[in-house]
Amino acid sequence: MIQTVCGAVPKDALGVTLSHEHLLADLRRVRHDEASVLNDLDMISEELKPAVKLGCRSIVEVTTVDMGRDVTGLRKLSGMTGLNIVASTGFYLKEYHSGRLQKATVDDVEEFFVKEVNVGIDGTDIKSGAIGEVASSEKIYPSEEKVLTAASRASKRTGTAVFTHCDMGRLGLEQISLMLGQGMTPDKLVIGHTDLTADADYQIKMLKFGVNLAFDTIGKSNYLSDETRAEVLIKLLEGGWEDHLLLSEDVSKQSYLIRCGGKGYTAVLGSFLPLLRSKRVPEEQLHKLLVENPARILDR
Ligand SMILES: [Zn+2]
């Protein structure tokens, strides 16, 4: 079963899934920037409609506690849009870590994650169906190591998938070594943002550990063109890694929204998918990236 903000659903109910998104988040505390706030339910629900029209059925929402997570808002959004939304438990980059988290032990953080997965979040009956996005900076700082370690242990205990943030796509191998070293199942680990590196050799080194990679910055053309992303993705597909790849957009601020001139939550289904089809990527492979892989990884 897969835990959504409206309860557990069977694996085959998930359908087309974006596997690393932010619907409600507030990063002002660190970014000091009004554009880093996504908190208007009507606005986000309007932004999601075109994605739903294109066939999106489910979203893995990886906003952490310290990114301004709002799970009751996510439950409302699920009702407004009909989307399955999987909420996460987790802590983000070190600048976001509270004094309380700094003082906590690995065990404290592990117990917190397990409670949010098994019991509920903030006194509600809404449970986390994923752990994410747990993160590393240009190096793995001690409080980030603590969070990654706790995430791996909580995954091992509960079978919950973990979604990570690699700053500029780097340190994926270090994250893998740390997290698999704590005993979690490789197939429950989704390493995030490594598409930004456009480095297939690096990505194959990671895939050989049995983990999954999310091409989850699709549409962010200020970093990398989707044309290049598609070329690298096709290399990996041709290498036989189709069971370990996922797609998403990581919309994290207002400028990516359609109302601000961006592609919003449609970059994958509205632009990238047609691009992959024009390059003759078989439908069965697209189905794996968007439907089968996320469902298998999230199911427990
Ligand atoms: Zn993200």
User: Which pLDDT value is given to residue 204?
Assistant: 98
- What are the structure tokens assigned to 49, written together? 């409609």
Domain that holds residue 66: 2-298
Task: Give the total number of structural domains in the chain.
Answer: 1
Residues of the chain with pLDDT under 70: none
User: Which pLDDT value is given to residue 135?
Assistant: 98
| Eight-state DSSP code of residue 29 | H
| 57-82 pLDDT per residue, tens | 999 999 999 999 999 999 999 999 99
193 is in an annotated binding site: yes
In degrees to the nearest 10, what's the CA dihedral of 260, 264, 270, 273?
130
User: Which pLDDT value is given to residue 99?
Assistant: 96
**Ligand 1 center to 142 CA (angstroms):** 21
Burial of 243 (0-12, 13-18, 19+ CB in 10 A): middle
**Ligand 1 center to 96 CA (angstroms):** 13
34 is in an annotated binding site: no
Terminus-to-terminus CA distance in the chain, angstroms? 6
Mean confidence (pLDDT) of the chain: 97
**Ligand 1 center to 250 CA (angstroms):** 5
Q: Is the Cα dihedral 163, 168, 169, 174 positive or negative?
A: negative
**Ligand 1 center to 191 CA (angstroms):** 11
**Which CATH number goes with the domain that contains 286?**
3.20.20.140
User: Which pLDDT value is given to residue 67?
Assistant: 97
Q: How many CB atoms lie within 10 A of CB 178?
A: 18
In degrees to the nearest 10, what's the CA dihedral of 125, 130, 135, 141?
70
